[in-house]
Chain A
Amino acid sequence: MCPENYNKVLDNDLVAQCSRCGKCRSVCPVFAELRAEPYVARGKVQLYKALLNGTLEATEKYRELISFCLLCGRCTENCPNGVETEKIVLRARSKLVDSRGLPFIKRNVFQHMLKNNGRLNLAAGMLYLCQHLGLRSLVRKTGLLPGPLKNMEQLLPALAARPLRSQLPAVINPPGQVKIKVGYFTGCLSQYVFTETGKNVARILTRMGAQVVIPEQYCCGMPAFTAGDRMNAAALARMNVAAFQDTGVEMVITDCATCGSTWRNKYPELLGEELPFRVMDICQFLAQWGLPDTSGLPCQVPVPVTYHDPCHLARHMQVREEPRALLRGIPGMEFIEMREADHCCGASGSFQLEHQDLAARIGERKINNILATGARVVATGCPSCRLHLARLLQGRDAGITVVHPVDLLR
Chain B
Amino acid sequence: MALITQLGRIVGEHNVFSSREERVCYAYDGTFYFHLPDVVVKPQNEEQIARIVKLANDSGTPVFPRGAGTGLSGGSLPVQGGIVLVLTDLDSILEIDAANQVAVVEPGVITGQLQVAVEEQGLFYPPDPGSLEVCTIGGNIAECAGGPRGVKYGVTRDYVQGLVLVTPTGDLIHTGGKTIKNVTGYDLTRLMVGSEGTLGIVTKALLRLIPLPGAIKTVLAVFDDLLQASDAILDVFHSRVTPATMEIMDAEAIKCVVEQAGARLPRDAEAILLIEVDGRPAAVEEEVTEVAEACLRHRARSVETAGTPEERNRLWQARRAVSPALVKLKPTKISEDATVPRAQVPAMIRRLQQIREKYGLNLVIFGHAGDGNLHPNIIADERDAGEMARVEAAVGEIFQAALELGGTLSGEHGVGIMKAPYMQAEFGVQGLAYMRRIKQSLDPNNILNPGKIFPE
Contacts and interface: CB of A to CB of B under 8 A. Distances in A.
Chains A and B belong together in one complex: yes
Contacts of A16: 331-332, 381, 383
A285 interface: no
Majority-rule SS of B interface residues: loop
Contact of A50 (B24, B31, B135): B24
A115 interface: no
B29 interface: yes
Contact of B134 (A19, A22, A36): A22
Given A23-B134, A80-B324, A46 B25 contact: yes
B97 interface: no
A20 B30 contact: yes
A45 to B, nearest CB: 10
Contact of A46 (B17, B24, B112): B24
Contact of A59 (B21, B42, B69): B21
B233 to A, nearest CB: 26
B20 A81 contact: no
Contacts of B24: 46-47, 50, 55-56
A55 B26 CA distance: 14
B30 A19 contact: yes
B323 interface: yes
Contacts of A50: 24
B327 interface: yes
A23 B31 CA distance: 14
Nearest to B67: A22
A61 interface: yes
Nearest to A39: B25
Interface in A34-80: 35-38, 43, 46-47, 50, 55-56, 59, 61-62, 65, 80
Interface residues of A, number: 28
Contacts of A65: 21-22
Interface in A1-47: 12-13, 16-17, 19-23, 25-26, 35-38, 43, 46-47
A26 B134 contact: yes
Given A17-B327, A36-B42, A46-B28, A23 B21 contact: no
Contacts of A12: 383
B327 A26 contact: no
Contacts of A176: none
Nearest to B34: A55
A81 B88 CA distance: 25
Interface string B192-205: 00000000000000
B25 A62 contact: no
Contacts of B332: 16
A82 interface: yes
A37 B88 CA distance: 11
A71 to B, nearest CB: 19
Contacts of A37: 25-26, 69
B333 A20 contact: no
A87 to B, nearest CB: 16
Contact of A21 (B19, B22, B70, B86): B70
Contacts of A46: 24-25, 27-28
B319 to A, nearest CB: 12
Given A46-B28, A55-B24, A56-B24, A22 B68 contact: yes
B131 interface: yes
A38 B21 contact: yes
Contacts of B25: 36-38, 43, 46-47
B29 A20 contact: yes
B134 A35 contact: no
Contacts of B19: 61
Interface string B49-84: 000000000000000000011100000000000000
B397 interface: no
Interface hub of B31, B36, B331, B333 (most chain A Cβ within 10 A): B331
B268 interface: no
Interface in B4-55: 17, 19-22, 24-32, 34, 36, 42
B22 A38 contact: yes
A26 B88 CA distance: 13
Contacts of B20: 56, 59, 61
B68 A25 contact: yes
A47 B133 contact: no
Contact of B30 (A17, A21, A56): A21
A25 B29 contact: no
B89 interface: yes
B226 to A, nearest CB: 26
Contacts of A82: 324
Interface in B343-390: 381, 383
Query: Which of B24, B70, B112, B333 is packed against the most chain A CB atoms within 10 Å?
Result: B24
Contacts of B70: 21-22
B327 A19 contact: yes
Contacts of A36: 17, 22, 25, 42, 86
Contacts of A26: 110, 112, 133-134
Contacts of A20: 28-32, 69
B327 A81 contact: yes
A82 B327 CA distance: 10
Contacts of A62: 21
Interface of B: 17, 19-22, 24-32, 34, 36, 42, 68-70, 86, 88-89, 110, 112, 131, 133-135, 323-324, 327, 331-333, 381, 383
Interface of A: 12-13, 16-17, 19-23, 25-26, 35-38, 43, 46-47, 50, 55-56, 59, 61-62, 65, 80-82
9 contacts: A17-B327, A21-B131, A25-B134, A43-B25, A55-B24, A56-B21, A61-B21, A65-B21, A80-B323
Given A19-B327, A38-B21, 16 more contacts: A19-B331, A20-B29, A20-B30, A20-B31, A21-B131, A22-B70, A26-B112, A35-B88, A35-B89, A37-B69, A43-B25, A46-B24, A46-B28, A56-B24, A81-B323, A82-B324
Give the 9 A-B CB pairs with smallest separation, nearest first. Answer: A16-B331, A37-B25, A26-B133, A43-B25, A25-B134, A22-B70, A38-B25, A61-B21, A80-B324
